[in-house]
Structure 1
Amino acid sequence: MPERYICIHGHFYQPPRENPWIESIERQDSAYPYHDWNERITAECYEENAASRILDAQDQIVRIVNNYSRISFNVGPTLLSWLAEKSPRVYQAILDGDAESIRYFGRGSAMAQCYNHIIMPLASRRDKLTQVRWGIADFIYRFGRHPEGMWLPETAVDLETLDMMAEHGITFTILEPHQVSHCRKLGDLVWNDVRGGRIDPTRPYRVQLPSGRTIAVFFYDGPVSRAVAFERLLVNGSTFAARIAGTFSEYRPWPELANIATDGETYGHHHRHGDMALAYALQYIEERGLARLTNYAAYLAAYPPTDEVQLVEQTAWSCVHGVGRWSTDCGCNSGGNPGWRQTWRAPLRAALDWVRDTVAPRFEGLGRHLLHDPWAARDDYIQVVLERTPERIEAFLQRHARPSLDESQRIAVLKLMELQRHLMLMYTSCGWFFDDLAGIETVQVIMYAGRAIQLAHELFGEDYEPSFLSRLAQAQSNDPAEGDGRQIYERKVRPAIVDLRKVGAHYAMSSLFTGYEERAQVYSYIVEHEDYHLLPSGKARLAMGRMHIRSVITGEAARLSFGVLHMGDHNISGGVREYQGETAYHLMIEELSELFLRADLPGVIRMIDHTFGRDASSLKLLFGDEQRKILKIVLDSSLADAAASYRRIYEQYAPLMRFLASLGTPVPNEFQIAAEFALNTEFRQLLEADTLDLDRIHALRREASRAGVTLDNAGLGYSLSQTIELITDAFQAQPRDLALLQQLDDAVGLARGLPFEVDVWQTQNVYYQLLQSTYLDVRAEAAQGYSEARQWIIAFTSLGQRLGFQVRVVSM
């Protein structure tokens, strides 16, 4: 019987979520208790697959494995960029998984992806080319090798894109079975009709391309892939393994490849603990000899295509209407809002196409004046995006810029490149995938358009916004309160637009609450305060100074002077303006200082208004995260008063509340609100403390139970998990410290006894590492009679049992 193989592919991807003006993701409340959806999905999926648990029959951990090393996978470049900065351990585990797969399979498991997940058949030829080149360059930068395969976003396919991929050394991709129409043996004259998903997915196929090149295509098993994604196949790892192996047939004479492909988020985010089902299934397949695990590149190297196919172009895996989901009201949606229509898709795409096509000639015109070849420069700009260092920027300019550009021209070159980057980001597929124009994913692509329009205005001197908005107004939200595209832009995009003055205002106001160094990075800007004065008077404070601001992205810079007055509450009056010379600057400092020191606050406000005019600022101008941070500082005393009042109300009426609860009588809302606020506030403070007061925590839990108080389980669980992670980091740095070990054991014991889930994932990972290193050394010392070593072993064993490990109790 020929050899049998199994390959499981995960498409790991999140759309870029960064505010285009500050290049950072701002808080997304819908991801609570996490800061944003990238952070949440990383916790639920990406890090879980980096260290997945394999359990025994008693649900104890026996192994921790890196799933990325045993599956085929691709990770979106924009997601990898975020992981590299925000979750470097997970990022490194993904790279390690690919390196290990090379040792295991002989070929790397990681595949590249077209850069920012645009629907390639709907893209312009130039955008397709850049997407392929950027995707390959990003892959080489991160994985240290040229990719063999490339994932097409949504598997949306056309021959032009495949030809570009083949031209750039890509040997294969993955498609859905319904994306093929005919098949035949190489050399045969007659084509067989395999429409309707009737292609045999257990081997690769060759596609003949218009240029004469060829590329291999794998078609994943549709029924099994859908069962994994939608039919709860991940509830049991052995059932999952058996279902894949069940696709083999003794009637196929070739080495069969059973292969599936789903969103990688299936394994943990969409299906809780799906990563563990995956890990167990992989082990189950190998231990029982059901098949050999492989990846697409290794299988293709061993078994090249013997058949060829004709593809159905303009099709994708998530739209039964071709690629209508990203261009028309085709009927495909999330299904969560019955009755909603997606008539907004076509006018949205038309508005974006208008921006792209209108600025393209102007980009070429100015670009040819400053660059040898502006489109070649765009293709190579990924080298700057990957590392925005002065050295990389200089090397880029040396390769592409015409000689002897002055500083303003060098800035114009970078703005041209950023214009093109945002013109591509605005086509990210998620902008059309979901149900409504006002959804966060769609607003995000409109924000990229807004940034592109701003850059175009600065570069070419023309205001493209009115014409864009008139087109965008033709797109209508399903929610009457949201209105049309123009209204959504005015309400959700315009307030996010940033220029150097707004960055200066942000810095000036936040300097009242943040101790900035002389040189500080404020998101994607470098701010140097050249002169700074802070005058206090009671609760009021006045900050004045001069700063130099430079964009890390474009190099654009300005020197600004500022003055801001904080009156002790949420009211801040201030402003910034272009620096107007030493005489005007010192006059402003002297006059503001004199008025403030005389306690003439109305006079200070009048002078600020007179001095800065249209550039006057308030807390509303702060960037989202900093605004919340400062409001929390400003409101802390008020919140403390409110918390104390709630606590007094609760303590006064707690006996009555307990009595009512014992009778099953509803507690009045006024009492319930006070109790929930008071107890949740104290609970959170206790769980975030440097030292955990276990007695008080348990007492407070009992008190909440007796009073019938609903605890903020998600928030409290997150707080304790953060505290445990801090203790874990300290213990990992000093694993022989018995006091830290006992502190960690107590904290994990507390977590296990609380009525809400606490994430101890990182603690389990550290424990597993120490179990194979420090534990063995200390155990040897304990066997020699060292009492401290014996105490350490006892505490370490206790911690392991609480963490769910299969740790044998050693008698000493």
Structure 2
Amino acid sequence: MKKFICIHGHFYQPPRENPWLEAITYQESAHPFHDWNERVHAECYAPNSQARIVDGKGDITDLVNNYSQISFDFGPTLLSWMEACAPDTYQALLNADKLSQKQFSQHGSAMAQCYSHMIMPLANKNDKYTQVYWGIRDFEFRFQRLPEGMWLPETAVDLDTLEIMADLGIKFTVLAPHQARLLMHNNATGQEFDIHKPYRIQLESGRVINVFFYNGPLSQSLAFENLLKDGKQYAEKLIHSFSGNTAEPQLLSVATDGETYGHHHKFGDMALAYTLRYIDNHPDACLTNYAEFLDNFPPKNEIQIIEKTSWSCAHGIERWKSDCGCETGGQPSWNQEWRQPLRAALDWLKGQADSIFTEVSRNRFKKPWHARNNYINCFNGQLNIDSFLAEQSGYDMKESEKIVALKLLQMQRHAMLMYTSCGWFFNDISGIETEQILSYAGRVIQLAEELSSKKLEPKFLTLLALAKSNVPERENGAQIYKQVIKKSRMNFSTLCAHYALNRLIDLCDNKETLYSNRIELLDFHNLINHRSRMIYGTAKITSNLTLDSSQQDFCAYHFGDYKIRVFAKYSIGQEAFENAMEPVPVKFITGSSDEVLTELESIFEKKCFPLNTMSKNEQKSICDAILYSAMSENDESYSRLYDSFEPLSRYFMEQGLTPPKSALTLIESILNVRLWKEVQKEEPEFHLIEKLLSEVDLHGVSLEAETLGKFIEKGVHKMAHRIVDDPDNLSMLESFETIIRLLTSMPLQFDLWQVQSLIYQVKCSNYDEVNERSQQGDGFSKKWISRFNALAHSLHIQVPQ
């Protein structure tokens, strides 16, 4: 009997979007990446879409889409980010599901996931239904089919959730072996059961849902031990882990966080690719997915789940509501007593939000909770706002009514996002994951207070103060909320200040959007005086999510070096604002910056937004722009210094002497700056980068390994795209090979897998045809083969000998 193997990856990142901007802002802990989504994508999600299979010498022999041969689920909020920010990988996932249908008897390998990774047994019935419904509708929208299976967050399970899943057409889920008991003659027993086959769960309604169980010890060693160091070893371990009873078909299933393959274990994507290839070619083993196995071998036995259990808490689901002892390690003296009061505070807030929703929506929606369920079709873009509201209300709403209705639904959306499981998972309430769910709570409070006469924040903070942090300076949940969330909370004036700052950075870009808002510029002025700049005007800002809008007056003033002030307030009217600003341009040209600031503070009633009150995106953009400007302004000075000290360094080396440290430090700084500027260009100059790297090599100076490595990675990626577009350009091939050879000899932190993938595509598209012409004596083809072989060798891509 064939040994059937299913490898499942649960791919998930908590939603990280700023709830006021609906965008992820810069996260310094993810450096040198912009944020953790971007980092995990680069280390795991993208490489698994083009995983490298290598020979014994480490040369690439093939590129494969791992997702097409494994079972996988991706969090809907992560897929939303990926669709916008990593479209190539997103498309590779959709393609993988289609490829898997061809391989696995028309059963796709993608599974749905509850929408925002809420611990389902701790949710109320309305939220359970919406989470499952949104997960299914989001899946259907993306994968263009209905899901057969659904992954439960943290595999936390209860019968109510399974009833909802079965009612909505879900056929199966996946659990850990300790989450069920065998049923014999309608009685639950403590007897161990065979995890190599699926089971039926008979639900109280009469419906049935099926369940698979993954191999716990094997999955544990895969996730936390060193099983992925060798793809062949991993494959052999899987093949030899079946039970002795082979009379019936057996399925060996392993399930881990998908991030195991590349983020947690470097090169895990390559090990997985080799494992899949090895199993696929093995005479006694066969890859499958859960849906195909269920179709071919339906369950014969019934099983009883143990409710309120999960795969990541030894105490059931206590990890998300109490100090149960489960934590991530590293701080043995810490406790997690903060979990219970955190949940109590959020439960209280959720109750208040639900009460407001029920009361205010009663006369606006025919069925308020039904409207909430179907809201997924609106914010996923399947229905426009007007069609959705007309459908759910049954009448033609006024604009003011639409705003209230959409605020109600946004409040409910954020009230579910604030229960994302990561908020309780880690060691302390001061972690970025808990800060994130508190930011959703902050948005819920803001919307709830706008929709009602209630003041919710004081009571919420009183409850939150009971959640004590292990970090003395962070004190408790209330202090963390005040330190982080209240500072990041935004209104239309804050948004307008962000818009003004963005316009100041990039005056040439007539922006009509700001994150999730539309901008209508009603009046705009741009003043320049030597190194000082000022913009001011009036803008109407409209939220794409709630349709709420506001007219704002603004001014952004950059008065040399790094000094910037931004002002914004609710508009006093275009004409009145023009009159108020009348003396400013004259003072901008003839007066001091102090005089200008005094005037602006008076006009804007001191409603000033310093840079440290802006989002991290704006802070970083401004700092980068100032740094780039300073470097550009000093180009001539750098050149003079370099021209003086570089020959001196060469002279010392020619005499067999070590150049002075001061000279080398200067050369190192200037070369780093020049490389940094060049690789950021839209079309970097191959020959210039080659020259700069040669000089780095000649003088034996260092590069800023991590930061510059990422910029160089992006730069060489652009260059590789140019080779894909123009593969016959011999000089470009030669220069690129020199650049790759120099880069790989330097202690830089960068990954060439994307470049390898692009050049491998060139090989697949061009090599055989050009090689045939070369063997027939064509001179150009001989040169091309010679140069491409050199480049392939530098990138460890296998070419014919």
Q: How does 1:704-723 map to 2 (within 5 A)?
A: 704=700, 711-723=703-715
Read off the aligned partner of 1:409 and give its amino acid letter: E
C-alpha distance in 2 between matches for 1:91 and 1:530: 38
Residue deviations 1:473-519 (CA, integer Å, cap 9, x gap): 11111110111111111111112111111111122233222125445
C-alpha distance in 2 between matches for 1:264 and 1:493: 31
Read off the aligned partner of 1:271 and give its amino acid letter: H
5+ unaligned residues in a row in structure 1: which ranges? none
C-alpha distance in 1 between matches for 2:473 and 2:35: 25
C-alpha distance in 1 between matches for 2:280 and 2:168: 35
C-alpha distance in 1 between matches for 2:221 and 2:154: 18
* Worse overlay, 798-807 or 19-28: 798-807
TM-superposed CA distance for 1:633, in Å, is 2.7
| Paired residues of 2:497 and 2:567 also in contact (CA < 8 A) | yes
C-alpha distance in 2 between matches for 1:108 and 1:419: 35
| SS at 1:586 equivalent | helix
Partner of 1:72: 71
Q: 1:512 aligns with which of 504, 508, 527?
A: 504
Read off the aligned partner of 1:368 and give its amino acid letter: R
Partner of 1:728: 720
Partner of 2:448: 456
Partner of 2:131: 131
C-alpha distance in 2 between matches for 1:574 and 1:230: 49
| SS at 1:613 equivalent | coil
Structure 2 CA distance for partners of 1:190 and 1:548, relative to 1, 3 Å: closer
Q: How does 1:609-758 map to 2 (within 5 A)?
A: 609-636=601-628, 680-681=672-673, 684-685=676-677, 690-691=685-686, 692-701=688-697, 703-704=699-700, 711-758=703-750
Partner of 2:119: 119
| Paired residues of 1:751 and 1:758 also in contact (CA < 8 A) | no
Residue deviations 1:445-467 (CA, integer Å, cap 9, x gap): 00010011111111113221111
TM-superposed CA distance for 1:48, in Å, is 1.2
Q: 1:778 aligns with which of 770, 774, 790?
A: 770
Q: 1:213 aligns with which of 207, 216, 241?
A: 207
- Please tell me whether residue 146 in structure 1 is matched to residue 146 in structure 2: yes
| SS at 1:206 equivalent | strand
C-alpha distance in 1 between matches for 2:396 and 2:798: 68
Q: How does 1:205-284 map to 2 (within 5 A)?
A: 205-284=199-278
TM-superposed CA distance for 1:298, in Å, is 0.1
- Please tell me whether residue 56 in structure 1 is matched to residue 52 in structure 2: no
| Paired residues of 1:646 and 1:675 also in contact (CA < 8 A) | no
TM-superposed CA distance for 1:47, in Å, is 1.0
C-alpha distance in 2 between matches for 1:191 and 1:78: 38
C-alpha distance in 1 between matches for 2:393 and 2:377: 15
| Count of paired positions | 790
Read off the aligned partner of 2:321 and give its amino acid letter: S
Partner of 2:781: 789
C-alpha distance in 2 between matches for 1:696 and 1:317: 52
C-alpha distance in 2 between matches for 1:211 and 1:148: 20
Residue deviations 1:57-96 (CA, integer Å, cap 9, x gap): 2221111111111111111111111111111111111111
| Paired residues of 2:679 and 2:714 also in contact (CA < 8 A) | no
TM-superposed CA distance for 1:56, in Å, is 1.4
| Paired residues of 1:151 and 1:174 also in contact (CA < 8 A) | yes
C-alpha distance in 2 between matches for 1:167 and 1:533: 59
Structure 2 CA distance for partners of 1:526 and 1:517, relative to 1, 3 Å: farther
| Paired residues of 1:547 and 1:561 also in contact (CA < 8 A) | yes
Residue deviations 1:82-131 (CA, integer Å, cap 9, x gap): 11111111111111111000000111110000011110011111111000
Structure 2 CA distance for partners of 1:249 and 1:601, relative to 1, 3 Å: closer
C-alpha distance in 2 between matches for 1:308 and 1:673: 72
- Please tell me whether residue 155 in structure 1 is matched to residue 159 in structure 2: no
Structure 2 CA distance for partners of 1:782 and 1:702, relative to 1, 3 Å: closer
TM-superposed CA distance for 1:351, in Å, is 0.7
Q: How does 1:20-419 map to 2 (within 5 A)?
A: 20-106=19-105, 107-184=107-184, 188-189=185-186, 191-194=188-191, 198-387=192-381, 392-419=384-411
Read off the aligned partner of 1:432 and give its amino acid letter: W
Structure 2 CA distance for partners of 1:221 and 1:724, relative to 1, 3 Å: same
| SS at 1:700 equivalent | helix
Read off the aligned partner of 1:16 and give its amino acid letter: P
| Paired residues of 2:493 and 2:569 also in contact (CA < 8 A) | yes
| Paired residues of 1:568 and 1:634 also in contact (CA < 8 A) | no
C-alpha distance in 2 between matches for 1:671 and 1:368: 75
| SS at 1:444 equivalent | helix
* Worse overlay, 511-520 or 76-85: 511-520
Q: Normalized against structure 1, the TM-score is what?
A: 0.92
| SS at 2:193 equivalent | coil
| Paired residues of 2:111 and 2:149 also in contact (CA < 8 A) | yes
* Worse overlay, 603-612 or 476-485: 603-612
TM-superposed CA distance for 1:576, in Å, is 2.2
- Please tell me whether residue 422 in structure 1 is matched to residue 422 in structure 2: no
* Worse overlay, 559-568 or 643-652: 643-652
- Please tell me whether residue 467 in structure 1 is matched to residue 459 in structure 2: yes
* Worse overlay, 623-632 or 479-488: 623-632
Read off the aligned partner of 2:76 and give its amino acid letter: P
Partner of 2:751: 759
| SS at 2:416 equivalent | helix
TM-superposed CA distance for 1:190, in Å, is 5.1
Q: How does 1:426-505 map to 2 (within 5 A)?
A: 426-505=418-497
| SS at 2:473 equivalent | coil
| SS at 2:604 equivalent | helix
TM-superposed CA distance for 1:778, in Å, is 2.6
TM-superposed CA distance for 1:682, in Å, is 5.2
Partner of 1:18: 17
TM-superposed CA distance for 1:313, in Å, is 0.7
C-alpha distance in 2 between matches for 1:395 and 1:738: 56
C-alpha distance in 2 between matches for 1:736 and 1:676: 35
| Paired residues of 2:679 and 2:715 also in contact (CA < 8 A) | yes
Structure 2 CA distance for partners of 1:586 and 1:329, relative to 1, 3 Å: same
* Worse overlay, 392-401 or 422-431: 392-401
Q: How does 1:597-612 map to 2 (within 5 A)?
A: 597-599=589-591, 601-612=593-604
C-alpha distance in 2 between matches for 1:639 and 1:518: 26
